[in-house]
Structure 1
C-alpha cells in the first residue's frame, strides 16, 4: 500500500502550502503527491523536493491520500517529517 508510510508517520504535513514550506525548510523526509491533483499545485512541490534531494512518491488518488493522512477531505500533497 503506497499510503502506509504517511498514515503511520508521527509527524507529517498535510496540504500543499504546508508541504512546500516543510520541503523549503529541509524538514521533509518523503513527499507524497496525488496523481489526480492539478499540476500547477504539485509541480512547485515536486521541483523543490527534487532540488533538495527529497524522495517524491506519486500516489493515485487525492481522496485516498487525504484519508491516509487522517482527514475527511481530499489532499493534493503531504510529507513525512519524521518516521
Structure 2
C-alpha cells in the first residue's frame, strides 16, 4: 500500500477522534484506516465514512500509518483534509 499521497498532503490529521471530527465537519477527503487496529475503535469511523460518502483506504499497519504521518507511534486512522 502506498502512503505517498498521505505523506505529501499539505493538510492531514492523525488519530481516530480528530479524524471523526473532520468527517463530521465535512472537511475529510480521504480517510486511512489501519487493518490491525481494534475494530471497536475503527468500526464507528468506517460506518460514518460510508454514510457521508468519504473515501476509505485500508492500510496494513498502525505502525506504518503513524510513520507515514511523521509520528513515532502507530495510528489507527488518519485523514487528508480538503485544502
The CA deviation at 1:44 is: 1.0
State how 1:23-62 maps to structure 2 within 5 Å.
Answer: 23-62=23-62
Partners in 2 of 1:20 and 1:2 — Cα distance? 23
Matched residue, 1:11: 11
Partners in 1 of 2:38 and 2:2 — Cα distance? 20
Count of residue correspondences:
83
Runs of 4+ in 1 over 4 A off after TM superposition: none
- Whether the 8 Å contact between 1:6 and 1:80 is mirrored in structure 2 is yes
Matched residue, 2:76: 76
Question: Unaligned regions of 5+ residues in structure 2, if any?
Answer: none
Partners in 1 of 2:31 and 2:43 — Cα distance? 12
Indicate the RMSD between aligned Cα atoms, in angstroms: 1.0
Partners in 2 of 1:69 and 1:51 — Cα distance? 25
The CA deviation at 1:33 is: 0.1
Question: Unaligned regions of 5+ residues in structure 1, if any?
Answer: none
